[in-house]
Amino acid sequence: MIIIGITGTIGAGKGTIVEYLTKQKGFKHFSVRAYLLEEIKKRGLPENRDSMVLVANDLRANNSPSFISDELFKQAQSSGQDCIIESIRTLGEIESLRKQNGFYLFAVDADSKIRYERVILRKSETDQISLETFLANEEREMSSEDPNKQNLRKCIEMADFVFNNDGSFEEFNNKVEKVIDGIKNEN
């Protein structure tokens, strides 16, 4: 069983990797975003990026830096299938997941203007924002000394495989496929 964790900048293509691996390679998807949205609804908070960050940081501070990814890893493991956990955002999550057999971390990045255009096009409830807000959100999530908070810069540095997604879907999917095929051959 292979479990892929995915990290990366906002709008870089984490969802594109998920879509490719679930539809083309039969992976099962476990989403931090979906997990947090459920918790946000339980708490009666607005469904936006600020609430997601607030709830995620609260869950980590009250449990452990790896709490959310550990919960999703348990679900993934019990599925018995190759799985994806999207989106890894803290060092504590990576450190915990690295202790598990069959875990690999993928990171994806792309030019900020391309990423902003993608975010606007996907029209999710947390993405209807200005370029300035987009850049401010990203900066807030790029680094933190607090193990309970997002540190995308360090997460990307710790990845086993880093993908640049400035090109076409086909080019990107080909890069992912080569890596997945290599991992499957290794296992």
The token duo for 63 is 């449990």
Number of domains in the chain: 1
Task: List the domain range (segments joined by +) for residue 133.
Answer: 3-177
Nearest to 69 by CA among 39, 103, 113, 32: 32
Across the range 120-132, mean pLDDT stands at: 76
With b for 16 or more beta-carbon neighbours within 10 A and e for fewer, the 59-78 pattern comes to bbeeebbbbbbbbbbeebee
pLDDT over 80 at 123, yes or no: no
pLDDT over 80 at 43, yes or no: yes
- pLDDT band for 127, please (50, 70, 90 cuts): low
Task: Report the C-alpha gap between 37 and 126 in whole angstroms.
Answer: 10
Query: Does any domain span residue 9?
Result: yes
CATH number, domain of 170, equals 3.40.50.300
Query: Does any domain span residue 30?
Result: yes
Distances (CA, A) of 172 to 27, 50, 169: 17, 30, 5
Query: Does any domain span residue 67?
Result: yes
Per residue in 58-103, pLDDT (tens digit) is: 999 999 989 999 999 999 999 999 999 998 988 889 999 999 989 9
Per residue in 2-24, pLDDT (tens digit) is: 999 999 998 899 999 999 999 99
Q: Name the average pLDDT for the chain.
A: 91
Strand order through the sheet with 103-109: 28-31, 83-86, 3-8, 103-109, 161-164
